[in-house]
Amino acid sequence: MNLELLDPWEQEYPQVIEETLEDGYILHSKFNRRGTLLAAGCLDGRCVVWDFDTKGVARNLTGHVKPVASISWSRNGRYLLSASKDWTCILWDLITGAKHTKIRFDTPLMMAQMHPKKNFRFVAALFQEKPVILDLSNGSAQKIALPTGEENENTTSYVTFATWNKTGHRIYTGSSKGYVNIIDAESLKIIHSMRVASTTIKSIQWSRNGRDILINANDRIIRYYRLEDLDGIPTFQVKFQDLVNRVQWSQACFSADGEFVIAGSAHKAEHNIYIWDKNIGNLVKILEGPKEPLDDLAWHPVRPIIASVSSYGNIYIWTAKHEENWSAFAPDFTELEENLEYEEQEDEFDVVSEETVSKRKNDDEDIVVDVTTCDKIQAFLDLDDEEGGEEEVFYLPSLPYDDADVFPAKDEGDGSTSSKKRMKKAHKGSFSPAS
């Protein structure tokens, strides 16, 4: 998809459900850094990756035996990190569709998140244990425990969420007692601690510019903090809540441009998404979906598209209403409300000589057209992107078929039920849309 061809006056937030993605019982969803791939963690331990343009399944990854607690993308889009309640964490290589590294812990995982710049480094929050940093760059897993700030207190608090800032120099952790600690990733010391709420911190979400933070707590309030510097101390700005219904929030995040804050209600009989203006704090829109609870949601990193996960295991894709704009095909095209009398120009139908036409064609052919240089798309430029660097993975290639599995020999039962099952299983695990 060419982002330069998108309508610049497209609506800033979606309004209707355009499509539904189904593949098992889905719990979480996450877009990659460019929005070309959508990954999901399932109840049966699988991880599914869709090509977002074609809505086809690109990868079906099987490795966990219990529900997936969280998923996270690497910076280059090649690796996917899945944390599960079976006490394991798997780093997947999406090009080959195989496990790169599998790490087992001594306790179930609450969540895990990849480093914003390093593809083999991530932080994990463990159940009733200290969070850890894992470094896989040397071929072996090196675990580094992080402080919680409550070693000397007689409390049962533990870290429920851990995330990196945009530069990767700080780690923000939220505890079950409502504390948010900022830890320096190099010295492993707490440089700032603040109590945001008196209840558990459910999630900490960053905006794309790395200066805005959303903290979702169990007290039915979403708090917006802002940093003056990328590695600075956050200051409180606005609270977002439903004062009438007092609903609990399952997930909250920023829009692609950072101007809106969205949150999904955790009501058992509704699938509503609340949209607020970030700066003013007023409610802009409530998107009403089917009568199904909402578990997770994610905003597309570039376009006004929302992916919401239902408690029934489906992903609903919310998009803006499409209106026909014929002026996009011709700049001088205007839509008429009623019939108008047209007055032709004096030279509009003049006969042009063949010499003039051939001269114009020759002049056009002399113009050199550059078809090799790729201009940077403004929507993909971040504040701290370095020049050059490694290549990103936008689309996943098709995996090769195994002829022995897809076409079994006749002596194994030609046309039998078991042979058909093997063929179906081989097709399901290997299908991928064309890149």
- CA angle 251-199-41, nearest 5°? 30
pLDDT of residue 255 exceeding 80, the answer is: yes
DSSP code, position 11: -
Going by pLDDT thresholds of 50, 70 and 90, the confidence category of residue 378 is low
Which pLDDT score, from 0 to 100, does residue 151 have? 52
* Closest among 178, 233, 169 to 200, alpha carbons compared: 178
pLDDT tens-place string over residues 301-327:
988 899 999 988 899 999 987 776 666
pLDDT band of residue 216 (cuts 50, 70, 90) is very high
Query: Which of 172, 306, 165, 295 has the alpha carbon at shortest distance from 231?
Result: 165
What does 262-319 look like in DSSP terms, one character per residue? Answer: EEEE--TT--EEEEEETTT--EEEEEE--SS-EEEEEE-SSSS-EEEEETTS-EEEEE
CATH code 3.30.365.10 for 12-319: no
Average pLDDT of the chain is 81
Average pLDDT of the segment spanning 38-54: 92
Give Dmax (Cα) for the chain. Answer: 95
- Write down the domain spans for the chain: 12-319
Q: How confident is the model at residue 157 (pLDDT cuts 50, 70, 90)?
A: confident
Q: Which one, of 113, 146, 116, lies nearest residue 131 by Cα? A: 146
Considering only residues 154 and 418, tell me which one the structure prediction assigns the higher pLDDT: 154
Q: What is the pLDDT of residue 49?
A: 93
Spatial contact of 261 and 214, defined as CB atoms under 8 Å apart: yes
Which tokens belong to 24?
Answer: 């098992």
